[in-house]
Structure 1
């Protein structure tokens, strides 16, 4: 009997379990470790914040998925690896053995070095915490709510527009502020898409501030390094991608804290694979985006079987250089960009909705 340890319930591991349920192997024992019984689908988060989806529509039921695949699920976190002994230590002190392990533990967007953040702010990742805090805020929302989003990439812009839309739909008069520590809002978008996104943010009434460096958070304010104080009843960080700290103690090859993987999604330890946002594809570096985790999944599923059984070749994963980006604009409209071509409209939101619901449907059938 071979032991496969799936560390984290990210999109790729959810799809691996889905594949395994359709083609089980009685000689392989699977254990999934995740602190929760369910995992959020990131593509539907702006829709949840905007009020287009209830929470249960964006959650993958990991316990049900594991049962279908014949896997055991442990509600815990892995905090260390004993690579020589082939063991992973859980937060509760238990050890789990593995013949092959795979990491799909995502990233964080918290700001632990920012005074007051742990008490007065919330990170967009992990998504479950953010969604819960947002729901609690809406349940006791002031008439003129002040919301501050730290980080003006695409994710921050989506959440700013979603927040403004939801609060106005409730009859409130919100002020949503989007902070960017650099000189440009949406620095990663090409010109045409960026111009349209800026127009959409303005139409939603979002206050855009560049060169805005948070210095500390207070109970109802964000204080910037230049002395500016911005009122805030709800402060969320979408700033950057932070790897899980315990990875630095594993001895695996890392790049800026992310696990370096080969084209076969293998780490520097041939018994350990890594996918999703926690991995760095040295052969083809790409930004952190859920589309890559989804497309890594079938390659990972085949390679895990091959590594465990010693039969078959390992497949390569070569990510595309460009991909269709569907960006929510708060209401039921979206912007699409690929290869410099930019489109916008309600039909694109319906397309995104169909894609997202289709992705989730495979875990419920």
Structure 2
């Protein structure tokens, strides 16, 4: 005779980021009796950001770069709520949602990523941020279609010379070449150099030069207009499409809570727990480690997932938590528009097609 174990504890995962996706996979293989698992995410899919440049370049379809949360939740026996969390009542142990009543938790974890910095004048009206994916993807594909129809000039400006900005510049140049037009792509960076060590920089610059991408360093943007980017002390850059890759910022709602934080990012300890709160965890780009700050990179969320899973179960069962020791050096993979990529670690870099498949 089958019996049902009543739920006595609630574990809630806020966001469908990389770490939470891996937790769902592990939970489905070894569920905790008596614990109800809930996932809260705005939609049924979550993007795998490492594949974004390949999607922009046209190498992948949209469904190939997304994590199917419905399928994962079914595997894990979890309920999935389509909504956004915009607050928390830690006294009542409740998460405040935009579109429905609060959700109670015994243990909760945040893996909500970050959003684009949109503080440049005109960027909201005439440009887009690289994140969130939905907004950027919709505007990019509309622009690409208009370019293919001869309705808009194939001119693009990318603001930000980090790895993500370089990747997107090359991906968009490759995509426009693939539809038979000659693109005009300009990368604008306020510092005197783009990201990467000397050898990596040279490889990236060579790859961008092969795609006829102009690189402007040591230049500040003052305003985004309908068809151009206004620079301080230089001639404007003509651009029918402008994307900002200046780096991400924390979600506004986090700053409005009483969660311990640094610049809007949730402060966590070595066990991935929110500082000062035994029932809360945070992981990925929305979190910052109080004792070992690391760059915002997906590799850390992936590596943290097993520890997060273990420690949340330990908290639910009264067990002992493990400490996570994130690596100081990690492999960086930079896609180059086509199906090749550069790998960088310990100051050394290598360019091969195999690295693109690995990414």
Could you say which TM-score interval applies, normalised by the shorter chain?
over 0.9
Aligned-residue CA RMSD in angstroms? Answer: 1.4
Tell whether the 8 Å contact from 1:110 to 1:124 is kept in structure 2 after alignment. Answer: no
Q: CA deviation at 1:139?
A: 1.9
Structure-2-length-normalised TM-score: 0.93
Counterpart pick for 1:116 among 122, 127, 152: 122
Residue in 2 that maps onto 1:343: 350
Residue in 2 that maps onto 1:202: 209
Residue in 1 that maps onto 2:155: 146
Q: Distance in 1 between matches of 2:354 and 2:22?
A: 28
Structure 1 unaligned segments of length 5 or more: list them: 353-365
Q: Distance in 2 between matches of 1:129 and 1:68?
A: 29
Does residue 135 (structure 1) correspond to residue 144 (structure 2)? The answer is no
| Aligned residue runs from structure 1 range 1-365, under 5 A | 1-111=8-118, 113-141=119-147, 143=150, 144-186=153-195, 189-226=196-233, 228-268=235-275, 269-310=277-318, 312-352=319-359
Q: CA deviation at 1:291?
A: 0.4
Q: Distance in 2 between matches of 1:27 and 1:213?
A: 56
Tell whether the 8 Å contact from 1:40 to 1:128 is kept in structure 2 after alignment. Answer: no
Q: Distance in 2 between matches of 1:91 and 1:267?
A: 23
Tell whether the 8 Å contact from 1:110 to 1:122 is kept in structure 2 after alignment. Answer: no
Q: CA deviation at 1:167?
A: 0.5
Q: Distance in 2 between matches of 1:226 and 1:10?
A: 41
Tell whether the 8 Å contact from 1:333 to 1:348 is kept in structure 2 after alignment. Answer: yes
Q: Distance in 2 between matches of 1:138 and 1:147?
A: 11
Structure-1-length-normalised TM-score: 0.92
Q: CA deviation at 1:93?
A: 4.7
Aligned residues: 348
Deviations 1:45-76 (A, max 9, x none): 11101111111110111112112111111111
Deviations 1:253-299 (A, max 9, x none): 21222111111001122211000000101222111000000111111
Alignment partner of 1:286: what SS? coil
Deviations 1:134-155 (A, max 9, x none): 2222222155401111111001
Q: CA deviation at 1:227?
A: 5.8
